[in-house]
Homo-oligomer: A and B are copies of this chain.
Amino acid sequence: MAKDKKFVSEITSRDEDFAQWFTDVVVKAELIDYSSIKGFTIMRPYGQALWENIQKSLDAKFKATGHENVAMPMLIPESLLQKEKDHVVGFAPEVAWVTHGGNEKLEERLCVRPTSETLFCDHWAHTLQTYRQLPMKYNQWCSVVRWEKTTRPFLRGREFFWQEGHTIHETAEEAKNETLSILDMYADFAEKELMMPVIKGKKTESEKFAGAEATYTIEAMMHDGKALQSGTSHYFGDGFAKAYEVNFADRNNTISYPFQTSWGISTRIIGALIMSHGDDYGLIIPPAVAPIQIVIIPIAQHKEGVLEKANELKTRLEKSFRVKVDDSDYSAGWKFNQYEMKGVPLRLEIGPKDIENNQCVIVRRDNREKTFVSLDNLEEEIIRLTKELEQSIYNKAKENLESRTETLDTMEEIIASSNAKDGFIKTLWCGDAECEAAMKEQAGLSSRCMPFGEQDNIDGVCPVCGKAAHHRVVWGKAY
Contact = CB atoms under 8 A, between A and B. Distances in A.
B37 A77 contact: yes
B33 A126 contact: yes
Interface stretch (A43-51, A300-308, A348-356, A418-426): A43-51
B49 A69 contact: yes
Interface stretch (A1-9, A89-97, A467-475): A89-97
B45 A69 contact: yes
Interface stretch (A100-108, A197-205, A409-417, A435-443): A100-108
Task: Give the number of copies in the complex.
Answer: 2
Contacts of A51: 71
Contact of A143 (B41, B52, B74, B103): B74
Contacts of A145: 74-75
Contacts of A159: 73-75
A97 B109 CA distance: 10
A70 interface: yes
B98 A102 contact: no
A35 interface: yes
Interface in A340-376: none
Contacts of A36: 77, 80, 122
B70 A48 contact: yes
Given A95-B102, A98-B112, A101-B147, A45 B68 contact: yes
Contacts of A74: 40, 74, 112, 143, 145, 159
A318 to B, nearest CB: 13
Given A40-B73, A48-B71, A70-B44, A96 B93 contact: no
B37 A73 contact: yes
A112 B110 CA distance: 12
Interface string A56-98: 0000000000001111111101001000000000000111111
A93 B95 CA distance: 24
A316 interface: no
B96 A97 contact: no
A127 B33 contact: yes
B98 A96 contact: yes
Contacts of A48: 68-71
A307 B242 CA distance: 38
A119 interface: yes
Question: Chain A contact residues: over half helix, strand or loop, or mixed?
Answer: mixed
Contacts of A21: none
A123 interface: yes
A52 to B, nearest CB: 7
Interface string A124-143: 00110000100000100001
Contact of A123 (B33, B73, B143): B33
A161 interface: yes
Nearest to A126: B33
Interface string A226-269: 00000000000000000000000000000000000000000000
A408 interface: no
A407 to B, nearest CB: 39
A143 B142 CA distance: 9
A206 interface: no
B110 A101 contact: no
Given A48-B68, A75-B37, A122-B35, A97 B99 contact: yes
A102 B110 contact: no
Chain B CB within 10 Å, residue with most, of A51, A100, A101 = A101
